[in-house]
């Protein structure tokens, strides 16, 4: 079962649907041996009264197609784990040293949420150096570097990559209510008891 869940997480990387605004993140393990790429179906953002920016990305899980993964793994079920990334930017970057966590101006959480009651969830958390630009109903966000410093695990999901760095580009629509809804869903998923076999 644990191997099967690991397969699902790996298969979810790199599989992408047709979206109007592409948001792509790349997660590279610290050992340099594993590199995962993910395209997100939806991305929304908002600015809080204190000036902080919140960005939420969602990949709802996809049905595997002809691409069976770069490592030759095959899917055992139809639905892959849901993935949600939450970034909170605290201030505009003062320095652009993307090679050191001291330059971070944001926090980041990358959640992998299982599809079955016993799957549970994973939370890759850390700090990030992020830029936030644009006007009107959309914003362009660059994750220059994010440093994942912890992995929290609940349930049967297997962590396939460990600690590492994240970078990528996000095109997010400005929609405070969607940000609220997505964050509430994540909190509900990560606070609910994980079923035991």
Greater pLDDT, 4 or 85 = 85
**What pLDDT score does 192 carry?**
83
- Mean of the pLDDT values across residues 124-144? 95
**What pLDDT score does 11 carry?**
39
- Mean of the pLDDT values across residues 140-147? 96
Burial, 193: exposed, middle or buried (Cβ in 10 Å; 0-12, 13-18, 19+)? exposed
Greater pLDDT, 96 or 144 = 144
Cβ contacts of 42 within 8 Å, gap of 6 or more: 19, 57, 58, 60, 178
pLDDT band at 2 (very low <50, low <70, confident <90, very high): very low
Residue 174 has pLDDT above 70, yes or no: yes
* Tens digit of each residue's pLDDT (9 = 90 or more) over 59-70: 987 544 444 443
> Model pTM greater than 0.75?
yes
Per-residue exposure over 169-185, b if at least 16 CB sit within 10 Å of its own CB, e if not: ebbbbbbeebbeebeee
* Tens digit of each residue's pLDDT (9 = 90 or more) over 21-61: 679 999 999 998 888 899 998 999 999 999 999 999 999 87
The answer to whether the CB of 173 falls within 8 A of the CB of 44 is: yes
Per-residue exposure over 126-151, b if at least 16 CB sit within 10 Å of its own CB, e if not: bbbbbebeeeeeebebbbbbbbbeeb
pLDDT band at 197 (very low <50, low <70, confident <90, very high): low
* Tens digit of each residue's pLDDT (9 = 90 or more) over 74-119: 333 345 688 999 999 999 887 667 777 888 999 999 999 988 777 8
């Amino acid at each position: 079962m644990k191997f099967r869940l690991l397969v699902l997480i790996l298969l979810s990387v790199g599989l992408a649907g047709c979206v109007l605004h592409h948001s792509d993140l790349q997660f590279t393990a610290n050992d340099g041996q594993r590199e995962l790429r993910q395209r997100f179906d939806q991305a929304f953002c908002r600015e809080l009264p204190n000036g902080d920016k919140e960005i939420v990305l969602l990949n709802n899980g996809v049905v595997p197609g002809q691409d069976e993964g770069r490592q030759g793994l095959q899917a055992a079920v139809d639905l892959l784990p849901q993935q949600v990334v939450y970034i909170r930017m605290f201030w505009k970057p003062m320095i652009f040293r993307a090679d050191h966590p001291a330059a971070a101006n944001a926090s980041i959480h990358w959640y992998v949420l299982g599809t079955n009651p016993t799957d549970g969830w994973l939370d890759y958390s850390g700090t990030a150096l992020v830029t936030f630009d644009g006007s009107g109903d959309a914003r362009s966000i660059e994750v220059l570097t994010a440093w994942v410093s912890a992995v929290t695990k609940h349930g049967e999901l297997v962590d396939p990559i460990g600690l590492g760095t994240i970078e990528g580009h996000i095109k997010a629509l400005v929609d405070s209510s969607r940000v609220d809804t997505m964050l509430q869903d994540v909190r509900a998923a990560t606070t609910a008891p994980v079923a035991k076999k």
